[in-house]
Amino acid sequence: MPMRRRFLYFSFFVFHFSFLLAQHTDVFVPPTDLTTSLLICQPGRTFYSGFGHCALRLQCPSRGLDVTFTYALDDNLANRIAMFRGKGAGRYSSVKTEAFLEEYVRDGRGVVDYPINISVEQTRALWQILDGENASPRYRQYNFLHTNCSSMCFYALERVMKDEQIVWSGLTEGCTGTYRNFVWHVSARRPWTGLFWSTILGSTGEEKGQLEDKLAPMLIEPVITQATIHSKTDRPIDNRPFLQDEPTQLVAHTLTYPHNPFTPTVIFSLLLGIAVVVSLLEFKRSTGQQVNRSTGQQVNRSTGRMSLFDALILAFQTLVGLFIFYLSCLSHMVGAAHNWNLLLFNPLPFLLWLCFRRRKWYPKVYPLYAAVILLYVASCAWQPTVTLPHVLFALALLVRIAIKIYKVKKTRE
């Protein structure tokens, strides 16, 4: 009996001490007012901001936290150049939302907050993931197809939505089609930007790839209210809207995009027109030279002036060709390999002219090059990479080659 009583006294003492200790010890209670939002930012005027921007906003009002996580190319000139070598360094970064919005207020670029309908536990896991990415010194390879601002936002969301998936409806061909469709759709108001990216895209441009890669800000904004979150277990009762509440305009959009009438089609049409006029004048003077030999010195001076146009057009073709050749064959840039545009844009014509223009066989190059250009022009029927501006430039080259062939024929006669 005494042993039992001592045991009861000891148990009471331990329980009472534990109770007092728990009352005087701070126990961490995770906050339950966590929310996640998708910020969609309007395009800017600069080349690299022309597609708009996406970021994830995480809030915890009870702790006074309002943080925006964004994935972007490390912003310096050397890194932008490195992107074209396939070595661009991208990473997540975090900043207070108020500071994040300052740039957009200053530039007049609109920002809309879209609250995402995920649980507190998913938001907590997302916060931990993004905090870990932000603290990590490791960079990711940045490229405009697979690891861009919007795709990395949705890939981060997918990491915490393990048994769920986002289902979209009403998406345009820019999202559901190929990467080349994607490029043209996101740069609809920037034809020169669209032409640039479409020109350097290789065979990857005809692939559809992952939908998440193409969920660009301007493509998902019109249909984001129709998106839903579905359970992967096929239980309709678990399905819910993607947005938890109505979107909020954080920054008013006041930036205007002036209309540029000098589109690629207009410029290359003018170039073709100039090539035709120059060739007709050269044809007329070449014919006149056979009639009146006394004006031969004047004709030679005129021909010299005409050759300046050839030098300019050949220089442009060579510079573009060198750039595409580097991206397609020498760099590790994602999506640039196996580029059909190398058939037209390559440094070979300049190299042949530079090294062999005085050789007797050199005029035979003209018909061969004309055949290559005709093949390139005809390929627009089955090669999406060959657009109307490319065809117009090819025709300008073809016109100049035609007059060269005519002059060689006249000389032999």
Q: What is the pLDDT of residue 49?
A: 76
Q: What is the pLDDT of residue 7?
A: 35
Mean pLDDT of 290-294: 47
* Cβ partners under 8 Å of residue 195, min gap 6: 264, 387, 389
Mean pLDDT of 324-341: 93
Q: What is the pLDDT of residue 24?
A: 47
Q: What is the pLDDT of residue 239?
A: 84
Q: What is the pLDDT of residue 380?
A: 95
First to last CA, the chain: 135
pLDDT band at 160 (very low <50, low <70, confident <90, very high): very high
Tens of pLDDT along 45-104?
A: 776 677 889 999 999 999 899 999 999 887 777 887 888 888 888 888 899 999 999 999
- Identify the top-confidence range among 55-59, 232-236, 279-283: 55-59
| Global pTM value | 0.82
Residue 176 φ/ψ, nearest 5 degrees: -90, -15
**In whole angstroms, what is the distance from residue 186 CA to residue 218 CA?**
7
**In whole angstroms, what is the distance from residue 145 CA to residue 160 CA?**
23
User: Between the CA atoms of 286, 289, 290 and 295, what dihedral angle is there, to the nearest 10 degrees?
Assistant: 180
Q: Which domains can be identified in the chain, with CATH numbers? A: 35-251 (3.90.1720.10), 264-412 (no CATH)
**In whole angstroms, what is the distance from residue 339 CA to residue 351 CA?**
20
Q: What is the pLDDT of residue 178?
A: 94
Q: Which of 55-59, 191-195, 297-301, 358-362 has the lowest mean pLDDT?
A: 297-301
Residue type, 60: C
Mean pLDDT of 134-150: 82
